[in-house]
Structure 1
Amino acid sequence: MEVEVKLRLPNAEAHRQVTTLLAPFHVTTHRQHNLFFDGAAAELSSKRAVLRLRFYNDDSRCVVSLKAKAVLVDGVSRVEEDEEDLDPKVGRDCVAEPGKLGSVESRILGRVKEEFGVAGENGFVGLGGFRNVRNVYEWKDLKLEVDETMFDFGTLYEIECESADPEEAKRLLEDLLKENGIDYSYSVASKFAIFRSGKLPQ
């Protein structure tokens, strides 16, 4: 179970304020390309599951992940998540021809076949995806991820923080933003849900 605090920033200016404020705590920056897949008969989405390939920094790394049963309440997200590394070249081949996902040696893709019944060359379809620039910070024993997510229909700005004590992490983050006069709101939908809706949340 992955538990994360998710706070939405209203615009590029608020995002710039946060990244400037956290600059002394910066650890790394990831340029991510997220691409999503389903079964040809919507076997995954019909059961609230998401299959994703995430490429890092121009294919230096590829991670396949399966997420299920996501719940997002008051800026705290809870989701079942399983992930593993995949050869980036194999990943790109699957993006070009989603049917190839059915023959990749992978624990997670094995689960997709067994638990959701998606298999065969015509079993998988590509849904498209989006790009994300993720700045990672270590601040007050928390790992903060500040995202700039570029959809075809607009850009979303968000702070994420995975924590075993999400309420305390949320309190620390909210105090930081309030003390510095930075507007924010609780995220109301996952990036995947926003991508599928085709528009930014109001």
Structure 2
Amino acid sequence: MEVEVKVRLPDSTSHQKLSTLLSPFYTKTLLQENVFFDGSDSQLSSNLAVLRLRFITTADHCVLSLKAKPVISQGISRAQELEEPMDPTLGRACIAEPWRLLSLTDSAIVERVKQEFGVSGLVCLGGFRNVRSVYDWQGLKIEVDETNFDFGTCYEVECETADPERDKKLIERFLEENGIGFEYSQVSKFAVFRSGKLPFLVCPTSGKKKKKISSSLGYF
């Protein structure tokens, strides 16, 4: 089970201000390319599951993941997650020919996709790029994302945690004390990608409004 604190930032100015404040705690930047797949009959999305290939271009690394049974409330996200490393060259081949994913015989994720969700054919949905800056702050690994979709850019703070209520308060207090507007994330980056439009934000510290996507899209 992956448990994360997730809050959205309103704009690039807030993102830059937060990045500057956290700069003494900086550890690394990850350039991520996320590509998604679904069953040919939408078996995964209809069951709120997401199959993703993530390429981390800064490290020539690729990860296959499956997320399922998501719940998000008040900025705390919980979801089942399985991850497996994959050869990046094979990952690229799977984008061009999605059937290659289902042909993997040593993957627990592929076996679950076929057995639990009844997937016999895959389609590539496309995806988006993400610039993730990672900080070691107050004993937490804070990830500040700049996510670039074809239709715009959004900004988010994530923190994987074993004590989400405590750590959410720490992050909220830091943002509020430094005058950085934010709002709890209501849907995932994947849901934003599928909607084709950026989310709407009413930030409690600024009152500024941005475009909105309906929460009825679901977390995934």
Give the TM bin, normalised by the shorter chain: over 0.9
Matched with 1:143 is: 141
Q: Residue 95 of structure 2: SS of its match in structure 1?
A: helix
Q: Residue 38 of structure 1: SS of its match in structure 2?
A: strand
Matched with 2:159 is: 161
AA aligned to 1:69 is: K
Matched with 1:117 is: 118
Gaps of 5+ in 2: 201-220
Deviation at 1:58, TM superposition (A): 5.7
Q: Residue 153 of structure 2: SS of its match in structure 1?
A: strand
Map 1:1-202 → 2, pairs under 5 A: 1-57=1-57, 60-105=60-105, 106-119=107-120, 123-202=121-200
**Structure 1 stretch 69-78 or stretch 6-15: which is displaced more?**
69-78
Instruction: State the distance in 2 between where 1:61 and 1:104 align.
Output: 18
TM-score, normalized by length of structure 2? 0.88
Size of the aligned set, in residue pairs, is 199
Instruction: State the distance in 2 between where 1:165 and 1:114 align.
Output: 33
Deviation at 1:111, TM superposition (A): 1.4
Identity score, percent: 60
Instruction: State the distance in 2 between where 1:182 and 1:29 align.
Output: 22
Instruction: State the distance in 2 between where 1:91 and 1:11 align.
Output: 32
AA aligned to 1:114 is: Q
Higher strand share: 1
Please say if residues 59 and 88 of structure 1, whose CA atoms lie closer than 8 Å, have aligned partners that are also in contact: no
Matched with 2:217 is: none
Please say if residues 30 and 58 of structure 2, whose CA atoms lie closer than 8 Å, have aligned partners that are also in contact: no
Deviation at 1:113, TM superposition (A): 1.2
Deviation at 1:160, TM superposition (A): 0.2
Per-residue Cα deviation, 1:50-97 (whole angstroms, up to 9, x for no partner) = 000000016700000000011111111111111010011110000111
Spell out structure 1 runs of 4+ moving beyond 6 A: none
Aligned-residue RMSD, C-alpha: 1.0
Q: Residue 116 of structure 1: SS of its match in structure 2?
A: coil
